[in-house]
Structure formats: C-alpha cells, structure tokens
C-alpha cells in the first residue's frame, strides 16, 4: 500500500523539477511513511511513497523492465502475482525483486494496457513506456475502484496522483471548487463520477485506463463491468463458502503483521471466520465500541471473537466529532459528509497499533442486497407493478398533499413512500441514497449560483448507471448503480482515506471482482427473502457465524449525528455557517435550519453536518472560491 504522483510534460525538451516531485510526493507521506523516491526520465517524472508490505527489503519503486524503458509505480496489491510471475519467467522475463508490483512491468510488455485483464487485486498504477517513437504514460485503476487515482490535463502536460493534494501542490491547478460538484455534494453527501470537487482535477473511474501520448488526445477507457444482459444461476451454500474462503485466503499473504476489523455485523464476522477456517493461527481482530448503546456492537464482536477463537483487541471510545473539523479534512481532499468517517478513522488508528494490514467486510451489502433500502425498494416495485398506471397516479396525487413529517418516526413518514410508488423506479431509488432533494439544495444556494446550476441534476449521472443493465430486475439495477456510484465514491473513499491517514492497508475480500461477478447478479429471491437482505449469504454462514449475528438487526457503522449537531458541535456548526462564502449560500436559510434543529422541531442533522464538513474542508485546503 502506497501513494504515488507524477507528470508527463508536453514539451519533450523539458525535464520535470525533482524538487516539485518531492513536494508533491511529500504531501501524501501518510500513504507511505517507510520510503520515498523520485524518478525523472526525459519529460516524465514519478514520485513514490512506500508502505512496505511485500518484499519489504527489496521492493522499492519505481520498478523497471530488463532494458529500463518500461517503468512502473503502483499503489495497492496484486493478489495473483505469484501465478503471473511464474508465467512471465517461463516466457523469459527476468525479475529483480519479489514485489507484486514488478509483474505489472513485464505483463505490460506482453499485453500493453490489456494487462489489467489478468490482474486480481486492488490497485492504481502508472506505467511509463519509453519504447518506440511516441512515449506514453498509462494509468490504471482496479475494477471496483478500491484504490484512488486523480489526474489533471494542464497547459504544461498531464499531472496525476493518488490524492488531489499532490496535484494541487504542483501549482498547475487552481484551488477552486467546481459549481456542479457543490450541488452534487449537498444532494448526495459526496462528490462522485469523473469530475472531482476540484475544478480541473478529474477522477479516473473504476476499471479505467488512461493513455497519454505526446501530441495526441488523452484517452480514457473502461476495461470491465458487471454483467449487463442476464442474471446468474442460483448459488448453493457450499459455493458461497468456497468462494469466500478463496478470496479471503488470497489476501492473507503479508510480510508484516496482518489482522481484521470486526464489528457485530455479518460481513466482518464472515471474513474473520473465514480467516480462522483457513489457518491454524488465531487471527488478530480489532473492534471499537461506543458509549451510546444504540450505536455499539462491541458485545457481539466479543462473542464472535470468542466463538472463532481469535485474538481480540478492543477499545471503548467516546466518538470525537471534532475529528471531522480538526484532523480528517486534511486527509479527505474532497468533502465527504458520511459521519462514519469518524469511527472508521478511530478503528483504523486502533488497528494500526497492532497490525499494518487489516481485512474488512466492505462490499457485502452491495453484493448480497444487504441494505434496508434494497428491501424497501423491492416492496415498492412489487406494489408499483400491482397498482398499474391508474393506481400509481392516485398515489402520486395523495403523496403531493401528504404533509412532510421529517420529525416523525419512519412509519409515519408516508409522503416519501407514496411519492416513490407513483414515480419512476430509478427516481424512487435515488431518493433513498440522497440526503436532501435537489430543489431544497438550490433553495439554500445564492440565487446567482442556483441560476448557474439550473441545467445540472445529479440524478442524471445516477440514472445512466441504473438504466444501463438490460435486465428487468430493479434490485440488480439498484445494486449496479451503487457499485458505480455510492460504493467507490463514498464507502471506499471513506475507508481508503481514513486507513491511509494512519498508514494502514485495508484489504476487502468481498470486493474481489470474481466474487462480485458471481454473486451480485444472483436472482432477487436469493438475496432478499422474508423482508431481509443477504439471504443466501446468511444461510451459507450458519454454523460458522453466530446465529445472533446472522439474525440480528442491521445497524451499520453508525453515529449519533443528530445529537452531535444539537450538542457538542452546535457552536462549530453556527461558526461554519457564518464563514461559508456568501456567494455560495443564503445564510438566513442556513441559520433557520440550525435553529429548527436545535429546538428539536426538525431533524436537519445530515444537512448541518454536511455544511460543517464542507466549510472545514474549504479552510484546510485553502479553497479560493468557485470556478467561473
């Protein structure tokens, strides 16, 4: 696990500044505190920060082919590198190190940019190819978007890095936010898709390959996707366990201490139990608990650890919401309003005291239909189909006149349900993954800015993903959309930044692309049954994971957000509202939301938290304003 940066200058007579590359590289030192290198060759430059995991003694990057005209840096892990290495040696390639990253150099010689077809892992890489008349820089990112990669096309050439802060350090990109991502952030709670929060900096999409050649237009291509035309055959319990043990086993190779995160949930328990099943050595598991009992799963985690015979390190913490304004803004180069960034950072910090690598259960909900919103969406679609067009029209009319009751228990909030059943399935599911309506976000903005954004709707990008599969299964369409939006841009970004902030590598076996290809497109009945998700996964785990875990209520890595904003964070929120740019928001409307929340009349916790995170991100990264 590492971080890298680099550039390719348009003018072949120029050479990159080594000092510039060092500054760019040093800005992401947390991603690789063990070593740092800079490489300059012609108009190309690479900077690398290393967190030593595999071939600790000899795996220093950049890595070269035999003639040193193909150069590579990589962040992440290639889990099938030993198999690839044997094949490449049989073809006559000579290796200098035992690093998994070195296979990329030689595999590229064999396959060019198609090398990604053979890789199993989580990775982002840059390959400099100096062969031939036209040198090229090739950037790549893993299929699910587990590891990040950003780039910027400038007048001087191509700049790229694991995190935007390294590109900003170059001084070639203005420290300005693009207006469209601001609206996306307010509606979704994160900035997603190809455009980053920073005007001029783009995000290489999951499974993306970028090809830069001097004098030619930059190309970005996708190399992989989930199935689009048909669902998979049903799976049996044995197949699920066989695949789980395989992908977990692939991720147990390490030359440094390795453990796992453990909550009281199904996914992390499944990974931990699989680690135990595949090894005579008891795995080391790390858990955190919170004083708020409604948000604490530490008791279940302790029972799971005892059940599988694991070593277990725990900590009972008082979640410090101040981390979101004091520490995390530096590591999150884009605003991310997920409050679970705080406990994710805390559990990473605890784990780093014992291990350098940790496995997590991320991806189980997206793969097996575990979110409650999937269950609700399936029910809404059944009712939508049963009602027909006339029945949906009647419900839509009732929904428009039904009073908003955001303060009430969920069962009494009928307006969203009525509106959803009457609406297009894509739009209905979209409401379940957004924080506020686009119309409300525009009302909060300065009128001039809102006018600029009248033609921009964050829903459009989501709908493009939702409607791409040619499969008449709304549940799979929702999963597919989440795999291309919410998962890489919120969940995986959260885990990557929080863990790398403390120099911890996190591996996600359930997001092995082979595992996802097999189980995400299962028939809906294998995923949701009896009003619960993950049916086939739960049943496969019986006897290996405690029934109390399998049959308990899903909680997630939650935080008492409304209480935070109404309590210890209220002064900070009020200050943030005062200092947010006046040409971004209508301050009186923001203050009214805070007053309503503080008085308990409405729950605006998520919106107010979003504003707090946005303002401290803006300050920490010296955002100068919105781009024209």
In the chain, CATH 3.40.50.620 sits at 237-369+486-550
The whole-angstrom separation of Cα 273 and Cα 251 is 14
Q: What is the DSSP string of 528-550?
A: -BTTBS-HHHHHHHBTTB-HHHH
Look up residue 434 and give its two tokens: 């957004």
Query: Is the C-alpha dihedral spanning 527, 532, 533, 536 positive or negative?
Result: negative
End-to-end CA distance of the chain: 37
The whole-angstrom separation of Cα 498 and Cα 504 is 9
Contacts of 422 (CB under 8 A, 6+ apart): 384, 392, 393, 395, 396, 399
Q: Residue 80: its pLDDT value, please?
A: 97
Q: Look at the block and give the residue holding tokens 């900077």.
A: 47
Strand pairing report for 70-78 and 63-64: antiparallel
CB atoms within 10 A of CB 559: 22
The whole-angstrom separation of Cα 176 and Cα 262 is 39
Specify the CATH number of the domain 237-369+486-550.
Answer: 3.40.50.620
In the chain, CATH 3.60.20.10 sits at 2-222
pLDDT along the chain (628 residues), means of 10: 93 95 97 94 96 83 96 97 98 96 97 97 98 94 98 97 98 96 98 97 98 93 96 96 98 93 95 92 90 71 96 84 87 95 92 96 98 94 75 50 50 58 88 96 98 97 97 96 98 97 97 98 97 97 96 71 88 96 97 95 94 97 95
Exposed / middle / buried, residue 472 (Cβ in 10 Å: 0-12, 13-18, 19+): exposed
Exposed / middle / buried, residue 496 (Cβ in 10 Å: 0-12, 13-18, 19+): buried
Homologous superfamily (CATH) for 2-222 = Aminohydrolase, N-terminal nucleophile (Ntn) domain (3.60.20.10)
Q: Residue 578: its pLDDT value, please?
A: 97
Query: What pTM value is reported for the model?
Result: 0.94
């Amino acid at each position: 696990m590492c971080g890298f940066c680099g550039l390719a200058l348009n003018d072949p007579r120029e050479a990159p500044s080594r000092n510039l590359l060092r500054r760019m590289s040093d800005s992401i030192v947390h991603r690789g505190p063990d070593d740092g290198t800079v490489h300059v060759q012609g108009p190309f430059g690479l900077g690398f920060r290393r967190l030593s995991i595999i071939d600790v003694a000899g795996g220093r990057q950049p890595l070269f082919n035999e003639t040193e005209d193909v150069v590579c840096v990589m962040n992440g892990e290639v889990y099938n590198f030993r198999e690839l290495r044997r094949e490449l040696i049989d073809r006559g390639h000579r290796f200098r190190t035992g690093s998994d990253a070195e296979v990329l150099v030689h595999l590229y010689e064999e396959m060019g940019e198609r090398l990604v077809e053979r890789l199993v892992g989580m990775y982002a890489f840059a390959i400099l190819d100096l062969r031939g008349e036209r040198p090229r820089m090739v950037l790549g990112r893993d299929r699910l978007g587990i590891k990040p990669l950003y780039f910027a096309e400038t007048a001087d050439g191509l700049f790229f890095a694991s995190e935007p802060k390294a590109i900003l350090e170059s001084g070639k990109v203005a420290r300005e936010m693009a207006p469209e991502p601001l609206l996306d952030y307010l509606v979704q709670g994160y900035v997603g898709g190809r455009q980053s929060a920073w005007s001029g900096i783009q995000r290489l999409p999951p499974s993306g390959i970028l090809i830069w050649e001097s004098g030619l237009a930059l190309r970005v291509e996708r190399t992989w996707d989930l199935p689009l035309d048909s669902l998979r055959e049903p799976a049996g319990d044995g197949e699920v366990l066989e695949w789980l043990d395989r992908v977990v086993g692939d991720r147990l190779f390490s030359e440094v201490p390795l453990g796992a995160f453990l909550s009281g949930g199904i996914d992390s328990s499944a990974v931990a139990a699989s680690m135990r099943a595949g090894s005579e050595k008891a795995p080391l598991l790390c858990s955190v608990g919170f004083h708020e009992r409604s948000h604490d799963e530490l008791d279940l985690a302790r029972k799971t650890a005892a059940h599988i015979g694991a070593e277990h390190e725990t900590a009972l913490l008082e979640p410090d919401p101040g981390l979101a304004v004091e520490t995390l803004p530096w590591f999150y180069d884009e605003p991310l309003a997920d409050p679970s960034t705080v406990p994710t950072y805390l559990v990473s910090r605890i784990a780093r005291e014992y291990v350098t690598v940790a496995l997590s259960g991320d991806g189980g909900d997206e793969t097996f239909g575990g979110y409650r919103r999937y269950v609700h969406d399936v029910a809404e679609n059944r009712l939508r189909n049963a009602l027909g067009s006339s029945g949906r029209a009647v419900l839509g009319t009732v929904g428009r006149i039904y009073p908003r009751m955001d303060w009430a228990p969920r069962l009494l909030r009928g307006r969203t349900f009525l509106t959803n059943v009457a609406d297009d399935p894509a739009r209905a599911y979209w409401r379940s993954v957004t924080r506020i309506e686009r119309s409300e976000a525009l009302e909060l903005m300065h009128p001039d800015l809102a006018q600029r954004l009248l033609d921009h709707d964050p829903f459009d990008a989501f709908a493009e993903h939702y409607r791409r599969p040619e499969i008449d299964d709304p549940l799979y369409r929702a999963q597919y959309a989440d795999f291309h939006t919410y998962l890489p841009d919120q969940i995986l970004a959260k885990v990557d930044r929080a863990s790398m902030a403390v120099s911890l590598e996190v591996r996600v076996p359930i997001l092995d692309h082979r595992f996802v290809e097999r189980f995400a497109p299962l028939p809906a009945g294998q995923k949701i049954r009896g009003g619960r998700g993950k049916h086939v996964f739960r049943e496969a785990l019986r006897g290996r994971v405690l029934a109390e875990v399998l049959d308990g209520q899903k909680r997630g890595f939650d935080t008492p957000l409304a209480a935070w904003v109404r309590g210890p964070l209220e002064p900070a929120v009020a200050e943030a509202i005062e200092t947010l740019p006046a040409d971004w928001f209508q301050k009186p409307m923001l203050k009214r939301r805070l007053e309503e929340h503080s008085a308990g009349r409405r729950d605006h916790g998520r919106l107010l938290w979003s504003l707090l995170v946005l303002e401290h991100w803006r300050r920490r990264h010296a955002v100068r304003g919105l781009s024209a």
